[in-house]
Amino acid sequence: MTTKTETLNFNADVSRLLDIVANALYTNHDVFLRELISNAADACDRLRYDAIAKPDLTKDNPDFRIHIYKEENTRTLTVIDNGIGMNHDELVENLGTIAKSGTAALMEQMKDEKDPLKLIGQFGVGFYASYMVADKVTVVSRKAGDKQAWVWESDGRTGFTIREATKDETKTLDGERGTAITLHIKDEGCEFLIDEKVKQTIETYSDHIDIKIFQNTPADTGKGEGKPINSASAIWMRSKNEITPEQYTEFYKHISHGFDEPLMTSHWRAEGKIEFNALLFIPTMRPWDLYDPGRKNTMRLYVRRVFISDDLEGLTYPWLRFVRGVIDSADLPLNISRESLQFNPVINKIRSSMTRRILSDLDKLSRDDPPAFFTFWGQFGPAIKEGLYDAAEHREALFKICRFFSTHDEGDKFVSLENYVSRMKEDQKDIYYISGENMNMLKNSPQIEGFKSRGLEVLFLTDTIDDFWLQQVHDFQGKTFKSVTKGDIDLADDQADENEEKDTDDSNCGKLIEELKTLLREDIEDVRISKRLTDSPVCLVAPESGVDMHMERVLKVHQKYQGNIKPVLEINTGHMLIKKLAELAEKDPANDDMKEAGLLLLDQARIIQGQPLSNPAAFAQRMASFMERGLG
């Protein structure tokens, strides 16, 4: 028999990854074993599922298992599974390219990452971790049901070869199907030629895998079954008090590929109308692709311990896409396609019940472990807030866990809405907020001056998502969300007490307002006397009928909004500058200074708000000429 050997190149992304794997000064080599075993277990899971419809696929051996053999003379370690296997095209595709969305973005991120392997693991290109310990990898594989087996081989540099397997090579496989991966161990990986090291590593990383793993001895020894080195029981089916925190962490790492610890672990059995076991984790670190639109749900769905899918749409809400874990239900049919499963009403019920549980566990975490909750909110808050408009049925529970910065804590401590409401002023009706990208800018916004001086709390909303949910959600416990940069907020009437002594004389400003209106009519909808300013001379606000100004900008960026609303200019009649201008307007409205000052004031208001100036050069000139006169 002559077999043709094809030589193919890795695609560019793989090459760059391999470069990182090979060059990373990384001490934790163990990871490769975790990745290979996790792939082997996945392959078994997938065949177990396919065999429900086609039992012939496993007729050579209905049991699934993994073997690990060490060969001293050749310095090799081989991981063998009798899972689904790969055919020629799958070997080329799966081990030669990265077919994942967001690859480019990941590469970009890797450049600046001190420990790029952290990201590799999360990205799930685990197979290439083999090259941390091996300088050559040989993969023999036969897809279940196929006649032909194939050999893929590569030194992990530029490319790989692929050819038909010889009879002898096929013997490496366990029965008629599956994959055998042989690592030619290099010096950096020599500890993995020590049996005890391999055993320990598997115990650490893979004990919970529900497929038996055998080391150096075949599963069938001729004298009955050999002894697996893992306990091979599905951890999520076991009772909570049998499981140590370390075991939970291992399992988390197995399913998340993460290097972090779980921030929160929820393990429960739902009983009643619908029954399922759930073991869910919230990561400590935000996954790199949390905001990548291509990111899929990552919850693993099992039906009576048979793995069904890890990207079933509808199993979780998109805004809980960072939650990792396993759902195992006996209420779903096994013999149904993954596609139609998506529309099964049981899935909806599982989602509702699971969501309620996660949200109530998070609420509990906020009370039991505030620092952990603080971390959680910092990492995942913006994603959670998507739920406010996406899932009205969970809104109440979501509001319980939502946190905001506010004027009351100088913007460095989170407050909950309940907190806000509990310290509202007696006659305060609304929940005040200001939104923008930049916390520092918000803290110093002229629009909040009046609120601060009256002791009214204003929430700082700095996530883009805030402008979206606020369009849908109008109140919390009957208190309306009200933007402080919009409409004519009548603080003076609300809180008539404190600022009485302030020297304002609104009656003198009629002429000034008239002049400014004419002068700025191209850019400004109206000019009026402000009740929200205390220190600054002017500010811009959105008209009552319009969209909040920051929201308008955000919506435009997202092409959700076309309009062009002119803002309202508010003037502070208590400010010296405005007083002087008012006098000037009375005496000599045609004066050039009048016009220049009006234009300057508008630009100043824009700058404070972080808005672009229509003519920065003109602004600079005007400013310089005023300064010159001021100094001279």
Binding residues for ligand ADP, rule: CB under 6 A, are: 35, 39-40, 43, 81, 83-86, 94-95, 124-127, 179
Among 11, 60, 327, smallest CA distance to 173 is for 60
CB 178, min distance to ligand ADP, A: 7
**Nearest residue (CB) to ligand ADP, 179 versus 215:** 179
**How many residues line the site for Mg ion (CB under 5 A)?**
2
Residue 83 engages Mg ion in binding (rule: CB under 5 A): no
Find the helix or strand (DSSP H, E) in which 458 lies: strand 458-461
> Which of these segments, 118-126, 327-335, 400-408, 598-606, binds Mg ion (CB under 5 A)?
118-126
Residue 283 engages Mg ion in binding (rule: CB under 5 A): no
Q: In this structure, what token pair is assigned to residue 296?
A: 């899929």
**Nearest residue (CB) to ligand ADP, 34 versus 550:** 34
**Nearest residue (CB) to ligand ADP, 42 versus 526:** 42
Residue 462 engages Mg ion in binding (rule: CB under 5 A): no
**Nearest residue (CB) to ligand ADP, 128 versus 281:** 128
CB 352, min distance to ligand ADP, A: 29
Q: What character string, x for contact with Mg ion (CB under 5 A) and - otherwise, covers 343-382?
A: ----------------------------------------
**Nearest residue (CB) to ligand ADP, 298 versus 609:** 298
Assess contact for 572 and 578: CB atoms under 8 A: yes
Residue found under tokens 């091979």: 232
**DSSP one-letter code for 172:** T
- Order of strands across the sheet that contains 526-529: 526-529, 568-571, 538-541
**Nearest residue (CB) to ligand ADP, 40 versus 549:** 40
Strands (E), 186-305: 212-215, 262-270, 276-283, 299-303
- Report strand pairing: 178-185 vs 76-81: antiparallel
**Nearest residue (CB) to Mg ion, 94 versus 416:** 94
Among 270, 230, 277, smallest CA distance to 254 is for 230
Amino acid, res. 100: K
Assess contact for 173 and 142: CB atoms under 8 A: yes
**Interatomic CA distance for residues 595 and 580, integer angstroms:** 14
Among 39, 82, 122, 230, binds Mg ion (CB under 5 A): 39
Q: Which does 84 bind (CB under 5 to 8 A by kind): Mg ion, ligand ADP, none?
A: ligand ADP
Burial class (CB in 10 A: 0-12, 13-18, 19+), 626: middle
CB 257, min distance to Mg ion, A: 7
> Which of these segments, 35-43, 181-189, 337-345, 612-620, binds Mg ion (CB under 5 A)?
35-43
Residue 126 engages Mg ion in binding (rule: CB under 5 A): yes
CB 42, min distance to ligand ADP, A: 6
CB 200, min distance to ligand ADP, A: 22
**Nearest residue (CB) to Mg ion, 302 versus 619:** 302
Burial class (CB in 10 A: 0-12, 13-18, 19+), 101: middle
Q: Which does 449 bind (CB under 5 to 8 A by kind): ligand ADP, Mg ion, none?
A: none
**Nearest residue (CB) to ligand ADP, 32 versus 468:** 32
CB 372, min distance to ligand ADP, A: 28
CB 130, min distance to ligand ADP, A: 9
Among 140, 129, 298, smallest CA distance to 201 is for 129
Q: Which single residue brings its beta carbon nearest to Mg ion?
A: 126
**Interatomic CA distance for residues 149 and 164, integer angstroms:** 6
Residue found under tokens 């919390």: 476
Radius of gyration of the chain (CA): 32
Other Cβ atoms within 10 Å of 449 Cβ, number: 19
Which positions lie near Mg ion, rule CB under 5 A?
A: 39, 126
